[in-house]
Amino acid sequence: MIIRILSEGQYDVDGDTLERINMLDEEVMRAIERNDETIFNQRFHEVVELVRSGTALEHHQLSESDLILPAPDTTLSEAKKLFSEHPID
């Protein structure tokens, strides 16, 4: 699966890593709902690092992203605004 981290680039992530990302994503979303900045920062950082553990695609290699993550320095308040503007089903 191709995942883009905004302001950084794209990574090809394997299925096992994707499963872990999905589990952490649920925790990220709960932290956003609870306004828990500490858990949000920890779990979002873990997601970003897992994506980075994939194979980085060359910048000239443009591929459609299956998933797009906000920039690594996204704050809880920015994430709340982002997800309120673009709800995930």
Element (H, E) at 4: strand 2-5
Q: Which phi and psi (to 5°) does residue 53 adopt?
A: -75, -10
Number of Cβ within a 10 Å radius of residue 63: 10
pLDDT band at 6 (very low <50, low <70, confident <90, very high): very high
Q: What percent of the chain has a predicted confidence (pLDDT) above 90? A: 85
pLDDT (tens digit per residue) in 10-22 = 999 999 999 999 9
Q: Is the pTM of the predicted complex or chain greater than 0.75? A: yes
pLDDT (tens digit per residue) in 41-54 = 999 999 999 999 99
At residue 89, the pLDDT reads 47
